[in-house]
Structure 1
Amino acid sequence: MDFLLLILGLCLSWWLLLALLYVTKRGNLSKVGKLPPGPRPLPLIGNLLELGSLPHMSLTKLASAHGPIMSLKLGRVTTVVVSSAPMAREILQTHDVSFSNRLIPDTITALQQDELGLPWIPVAPLWRNLRRICNVHLFAPKTLDSSQQIRRRKIQELLDYIGKYSETGSSVDIGEAGFTTTLNLLGNTTVSVDLADPTSESAKEFKELVWQIMVEAGKPNLADYFPVLKRLDPQGARRRMTGYFGRMFDVFDRIINERLQVREIPGSVRKNDMLDTLLELSENKEEGMDLFLMKHLFLDLFAAGTDTTSSTLEWAMAELLRNPDKLLKAQAELEQVIGRGNPVEESDIARLTYLQATVKETFRMHPAVPLLLPRRAGATVQVGSYTIPEGTQILVNVWAVGRDPDTWKDPNQFIPERFLGLDIDVKGQNFGLLPFGGGRRTCPGLPLAIRMLHLMLGSLLNSFNWELEDGVSPETMDMGEMFGLTLKKAQPVRAVPLMVTK
């Protein structure tokens, strides 16, 4: 409501001036070439009112009327939305070079995140250095293999925590438990510390902080649609984001300073984790690494890695509880391959084809970042018979791509079997399934996220049977969504775990 009032106030105050600018720019665009089709924009505000509270759904509905590539006017920003696998291929592969940089939301300029945050910086030397650090030092298979014991320990702590609910017959919040485990998995892999105690409020507070960052980055902001307002920050979004980033940096400052003090002690033993690796790069002045850049890299890892992984786990459990026959199939495979109640190892995942299919089907129906991160046309590009002008915002609606009936049969049904026997992965080469994006901007944390997600889901299914809490049946489960930069389940999944005996 506040957003709508701000829009109306803006319309009343600047009607004549912005109407003139709008008409002028539309005239200039018509000289450049033919934009993709789209809904007729209103003066000044364009198509802003058509986004709604769930823009991925609103844009999918618009695409059904205007086609898999369409243009909109969001305030002063020309936006092209693609909603099919062939169009996604055009953007993320054929013209990846032209569309590889970002259109930066105003909130992301807080504390120089747009200049130092890996997801946002342009493809340039700093970006290449950070990608190389991720690929060579942080997420290389050898590095991840060496930290398996950490993840094994954190998974056992998750099972012990769930076991307490099993003993009392009470329901557990799957999303909360998954977030705490994901946070501590990342914490121990990167900085060798737990960042949350599942029995305290710390995990819930950290989760709320991460979600606020996602909401602030994803919700409509007048400063993004009317750049002349950026200096005013009319909704206070950048100010709030500065506070959220600052609280995250305070956590990282404490951890980094404690490690630096330990490293100064003669004979101290190195942790050989990501933090030690980054500190050594900084001390040796390699890859442009320094302490401030290090904090931004940790911000990217923790903000993106915790929320997306735990949210996907919650959606997977929701779909399995809603489809008990699929749940039984997944558990039957675990029993056959591993034995019910036995620990799931990362080396087992390759043999658990139905578990893999379940995760892929969850990614298809519930991509963690439904519109990916916004791209910016670096040059005027011809896509098919349409012209995309330089500076245009590009949105890839992977939520719509995953539910496109031209690609997927019964797209709104949860059917893991559709992936069995098919060579389809989530690494950005199959354009009908793009939960981590594609092209050169594919998420660098994909290898770790995939390991953690399969390990957590497989362990929960193999160690416990699950029942919905009283009053909830598969038919009455609320599957509503809540939109930020990421997609969250509106109503938390609560289920009763029943211990499985070996």
Structure 2
Amino acid sequence: MSFHHLLVSHLDALPLSLVALVALSSIFLLFRARPKKPSHVPSPWRLPLIGNLHQLGSLPHRSLRSLSQKHGPVMLLWFGRVPTVVVSSAAAAQEVMKTHDLAFASRPDSSLSDRLFYGSQDVGFCKYGELWRQVRRVCVLHLLSLRRVHSFRPIREEEVALLVGRIRAASSRVNISEMIVSLTSDIISRVAFGRKHVEEEGGGSGVRALFSELTTVLGSFPLRDFVPLLGWIDRLNGLDARVRKTAIKFDAFIETILEEHERKTHTNHARDDSSTMDFSDILLASEAVDGIALSRDCIKAIILDMITGGIDTTYTTIEWAMAELVKHPRKMERAQEEIRKIVGSGGELREEMVEGMEYLRAAIKETLRLHPALPLLVPRESMEDARLQGYLIPKCTRVVINAWAIGRDPVSWEKPEEFWPERFVGNSIDFKGQDFQLIPFGAGRRGCPGVAFAMATTELALANLLYHFDWQLPDGMAGEEMDMSEASGIAVHKKSSLILVAKPPNL
């Protein structure tokens, strides 16, 4: 018997007055719970119940740009019952993240982040308030400060040297995507936990698979957050079980790490805030360091933040940069000439040398413009009524900034669809939150605090790959033939692995 026939048969068995009462109550509750609509914001037509969800597609950043080209850089969509303002221009993004930064500084409710990040007690998904201020203070001052990032330089250099060695030992054909994932996960493991934990979770590959599962689950779309009546679908399609399993596995993994650190600290007595401390050491000592007593769950949530922010986004940027440079061999040659001139023949590429590599840094900026790791920045939520480009945005409205569309906006960029690093040579445009046409890490209060950490790894890894090897596509493939399609997820990487041929350079 179909669901429709089953429902009808049950209704037939009820008194007509009771059916009417249930129907009227449902309608009343539906309208009573309906959020206040932003005033006169352009909006496409929507379907009942699901709103504009059917228009998102498998790559929402592309679908939203297409809609914004019809309805404007500030448009209103309904994701189920949730009003969502989508921003697709630098000017509107500046209003959200600078002019009215405080008004838009909170985060919307998320069942995913609540279940994975211990009630959203991390810096990324935590709602604006005292807890978020304390967590961000610990992250900015003690985990991701420039001094702390510099202290992890030996780890980055050692792991990048191991990467170069693995490529030399491999056959000429290299799965560079797989090797970059290994590099970034090994670095974050050592920085967060003090070692790679190769003996746990099935070895190093098991730990990397666990990290990958976390970012994959974070890219899921729980219907219950937008259409509560359809929340049962999350159970039916296995999402609830998958989230629960991931949360349990990570909790057990991180708890084991923290207990290990506590035993080590107890044995060695109290450790000071020295350069030898990893993230777990610092968080466990946070009360002594900064007078802030973080709960056990809050510490675990922050560590998960460091994993998601430190692995997937960094790996994605390096992968896209290599893909674009191989696709444009003359630009790759220019970057290699610059790097090899600075380092010299047979020299050692040290991290401080990257500061003088203007074209390499321009190529990375261009990669971030075309391929921001998070094309849709983590959503914000208005804490009060505010004006955006003249439109009234009520309190509790969700705001999504399409960094991918802004990076390709012809209003801001010449040749917006072309990989052209030269646009960044000789100018001061940067990605640190002051130039709103380039915001891969966000800006304002909710900007990513880990920019320096991510870029230190990205620059060093890319410089070494280009210095130590000449790269080309296998089987004589031309750059135009390369598959540059995107995979869906919270961080958008290449859909197909980047397979390249590595050859020793003629230095």
Q: TM-score, normalised by structure 1?
A: 0.89
1:239-264, CA deviations, whole angstroms, 9 ceiling, x for partnerless residues? 32222132223222222222222222
Query: Is 1:246 aligned to residue 248 of structure 2?
Result: yes
Is the CA contact (8 Å cut-off) linking 1:144 and 1:448 kept in structure 2?
yes
* Residues 482-491 or 291-300, more deviating: 291-300
SS at match of 1:264: helix
CA distance in 2, matches of 1:431, 1:241: 34
What is aligned with 2:19?
A: none
**Aligned pair partner of 1:192 in 191, 194, 215:** 194
- 1:21 deviates by 6.5
CA distance in 2, matches of 1:24, 1:290: 37
What is aligned with 1:52?
A: 57
What is aligned with 2:382?
A: 377
Is the CA contact (8 Å cut-off) linking 1:180 and 1:196 kept in structure 2?
no
Structure 1 207/188 Cα, relative in aligned 2: closer, same or farther at 3 Å?
closer
RMSD value, Cα: 2.8
- 1:57 deviates by 0.3
The one-letter code of the counterpart of 1:117 is D
1:264-320, CA deviations, whole angstroms, 9 ceiling, x for partnerless residues? 225798843332222222567931224332221111101221011001110000001
| Structure (1 or 2) with the larger CA radius of gyration | 2
Structure 1 315/15 Cα, relative in aligned 2: closer, same or farther at 3 Å?
farther
TM alignment of 1:27-66, pairs within 5 A: 29=36, 34-66=39-71
The one-letter code of the counterpart of 1:57 is R
- 1:218 deviates by 2.7
TM alignment of 1:83-482, pairs within 5 A: 83-111=88-116, 113-165=118-170, 168-169=171-172, 171-195=173-197, 202-227=203-228, 233-234=234-235, 235-266=237-268, 271-282=276-287, 286-470=291-475, 472-482=477-487
CA distance in 2, matches of 1:39, 1:16: 29
The one-letter code of the counterpart of 1:447 is A
CA distance in 2, matches of 1:441, 1:386: 22
Structure 1 unaligned residues grouped into runs of 5+: 1-5
Structure 2 unaligned residues grouped into runs of 5+: 12-21
* Residues 454-463 or 238-247, more deviating: 238-247
SS at match of 1:189: helix
What is aligned with 1:3?
A: none
1:95-137, CA deviations, whole angstroms, 9 ceiling, x for partnerless residues? 1111111113222221553331221112222211121112211
Structure 1 342/38 Cα, relative in aligned 2: closer, same or farther at 3 Å?
farther
Structure 1 366/232 Cα, relative in aligned 2: closer, same or farther at 3 Å?
closer
The one-letter code of the counterpart of 2:311 is T
- 1:228 deviates by 5.0
SS at match of 2:305: helix
Is the CA contact (8 Å cut-off) linking 1:217 and 1:485 kept in structure 2?
yes
Is the CA contact (8 Å cut-off) linking 1:282 and 1:290 kept in structure 2?
no
CA distance in 2, matches of 1:39, 1:269: 58
Q: TM-score, normalised by structure 2?
A: 0.88
Is the CA contact (8 Å cut-off) linking 1:342 and 1:463 kept in structure 2?
no
SS at match of 1:116: coil
Is the CA contact (8 Å cut-off) linking 1:18 and 1:44 kept in structure 2?
no
Structure 1 263/215 Cα, relative in aligned 2: closer, same or farther at 3 Å?
closer
